[in-house]
Amino acid sequence: MYKLAALLAFAASPALATGLEIDVTGEANGTLVIDLYEDVAPLHVEQITAIAAAGSYDGVVFHRVIDGFMAQTGDVENGVMGMDLSRAGTGGSEFPDIPAEFSDVPFERGVIGMARAQNPNSANSQFFIMFEPGYFLNGQYTVVGEVVEGMDVVDAIKRGTGANGAVIGQPDMMAAVRVTE
C-alpha cells in the first residue's frame, strides 16, 4: 500500500527529477548514474521517476540482454527477483501505457530507451540500455536518457542466450533505484 500511495503522490507532483542512480548486483556490481531527458520525453520521465520513487524498481532483474545490442529491465510486475521469472518481460506497472514521444536523439552507446510492444504507444515501465549504437531504433522508440557514469557496470551485465536474449539462471538486478535532482 505504501508503494501505491508514494506512486500516486509522486505522479501528482511536477517532475523535478534530473536522473536516476541504479545499484546493480549480480555478475555486474556497481552504480549507474543516468541523466534523464525531461525536455525530450516528459511523460516517460515522469512515469519512470514515479515508479523509482515508489521503490518499485528495487529488485527488478535484467531479463533480456543481447550482447552488442542492449540490456532490458523494468518489469515491475513480473520481473522482481524471488518471483517466478518465467514471465519476466511481459508486465508493466500500475500506471497506464504512455503515448510515444519520439525524438531526433539517436540511439548511441549508453542511451536509455523505453521498451514497448508492437504498438508505439505501449511503453510503460520497462527500459533498455544500449551497449552499442542502434540507429535502426531511431524515431521508433522513445529516448529517455543516457548513462553518464557506470558504463563499465552495464558492460558487465550477464548476457542472455538465443535471439531474444533471455537471461537463463540467476540474472543481474537493480538492487536499488534512487531518483536524483
pLDDT score recorded for residue 18: 85
Place of cell 542512480: 21
Question: What's the CATH code, domain 16-180?
Answer: 2.40.100.10
Measured between alpha carbons, how far is 53 from 80 in angstroms, rounded to an integer? Answer: 16
Contacts (Cβ under 8 Å, ≥6 apart) of 152: 30
Measured between alpha carbons, how far is 22 from 108 in angstroms, rounded to an integer? Answer: 20
Amino acid 126 reads Q
pLDDT score recorded for residue 6: 41
pLDDT tens, position by position, 57-76: 999 999 999 999 999 999 99
pLDDT score recorded for residue 171: 97
**Can you name the residues that pair with 33 across neighbouring β-strands?**
21, 149
Outline where the chain has alpha helix (H): 2-12, 42-53, 151-155
Low-confidence ranges of the chain (pLDDT < 50): 1-16
pLDDT score recorded for residue 166: 95
